[in-house]
Structure 1
Amino acid sequence: MRTTVMIKNIPNKMTDKDLMTFIERVCSRRIDFFYLRMDFKNGCNVGYAFVNFITVDDLLRFAKGRLGVKWNMYASEKVLQMSYANYQGKEALVEKFKNSAIMDERESWRPKIFYSNGPQVGQPEPFPAPTHQRRKERSAHNRGALYVPGTARLHTSGRTEEHDRGERHMR
């Protein structure tokens, strides 16, 4: 029953609106979460997005129509790939991002949600307000710092202490 995917190999010049249009051509108004990850320094996307489809059938329709196909835009030779995301479903994604500093960035760089059912299905829905200010502050402090030199210690398992701490925070 997984409905959330990471869409990969997105041409870096593509905007959130471009990607939404690309998805809409196959599954009009059939997603309820969308987040195109951006590089804050250069304003381009980093090549992947998280998308939650309303139903498994919607996801399968998109996969059948787009998976393994060249993007054919921005002179890119990239081919669309997908994998299941670690966080599944609109509720889990909203919970993950509502306390993130990303919600203070430009509107076009933020995760977006859409109504999942009813007469407004597929229309923009307001993102819930943060519920944990300290978590949001930590997120702002760590923004963009996937690795801070001199802080990671490698375990014999090949994992770093920071990786283990990060996984604990994600649970």
Structure 2
Amino acid sequence: MIKNIPNKMSDKDLMSFIAKVCPRRIDFMYLRMDFQNGCNVGYAFVNFISVEDLLHFTKARLGVKWNMYSSEKVLQMCYANYQGKEALIEKFKNSCIMDEQESYRPKIFYSSGSKQGLPEPFPAPTHLRRKERSSNNRGALYAGNGVRGAGLTVVQ
């Protein structure tokens, strides 16, 4: 989990920021957004393809100021409750977040082969009742305050 992300940063900005250190070396990213003000809430779930990629990014960016958007924030990282691309896909594919605008949704990328690091289609939901429950709890799950759980994702 990546934390302390400047709130004005978009998902595309975060992708570019990561790619400067580890180009095409992540296979999942979800920058959590506050739907009311259109800003991120300061953290993102990011899955690096390999431990070496994670360590390389961490060595280059952990504890360093973002130096953008006039932010004094310092990048922090922690482990999330959900680890790995498959677990993260399973967590979010049945969530109402997948009904939001494209820039607010989790994104997956090919983990290997010639398309490694390029966008991959997100699997369709498999549990419509779970997605329905998620929609009913949307306010509680996606409010802009606090972090529920921990994980290797970037968080504010």
Question: How high is the TM-score relative to the length of structure 1?
Answer: 0.82
CA distance in 1, matches of 2:15, 2:116: 15
CA distance in structure 2 between the aligned counterparts of 1:95 and 1:112, rounded to whole angstroms: 13
Aligned-CA RMSD value: 1.0
State how far apart, in whole Å, the 1-side matches of 2:43 and 2:86 are. 20
**What is the Cα deviation at residue 43 of structure 1?**
0.4
Instruction: State the distance in 2 between where 1:21 and 1:102 align.
Output: 23
1:41 and 2:48 are equivalent in the alignment: no
Q: Which is higher, the Rg of structure 1 or of structure 2?
A: 1
- Aligned mates of 2:90, 2:78 — CA distance in 1: 21
Helix, strand or coil: the match of 1:120?
coil
1:31 to 26, 32, 50: 26
Q: How does 1:48-59 map to 2 (within 5 A)?
A: 48-59=43-54
In 1, distance between residues paired with 2:62 and 2:101?
29
Q: Greater relative contact order: 1 or 2 (C-alpha under 8 angstroms, separation 6 or more)? A: 2
For residue 43 of structure 2, give the secondary structure of its aligned residue in structure 1. Answer: strand
Question: How do 1:9-28 residues align onto structure 2 when only pairs under 5 Å count?
Answer: 9-28=4-23
Alignment deviations for residues 59-118 of structure 1 (CA, whole Å, 9 cap, x no partner): 000000000000000000000000011100000000000000000001000000000001
Residue 125 of structure 2: aligned partner: 130
Aligned-residue identity in percent? 81
**Residue correspondences, number:** 142
Structure 1 residue 145: Cα displacement: 1.4
- Report the counterpart of residue 63 of structure 2 in structure 1: 68
Which residue of the partner structure matches residue 145 of structure 2? none
Tell me how far apart the structure 1 counterparts of residues 102 and 40 of structure 2 sit (CA, whole Å): 14
Q: Which has the higher strand share?
A: 2
Structure 1 stretches of at least 4 aligned residues deviating more than 2 Å after TM superposition: none
Give the secondary-structure state (helix, strand or coil) at the position aligned to 1:78: coil
Contiguous gaps of at least 5 residues in structure 2: 142-147, 149-156
Paired with 1:53 and 1:145, the residues of 2 have a C-alpha distance of 28
Deviations 1:5-24 (A, max 9, x none): x1000000000000000000
Q: TM-score, normalised by structure 2?
A: 0.90
Deviations 1:26-45 (A, max 9, x none): 00000000000000100000
| AA of the residue aligned to 1:86 | N
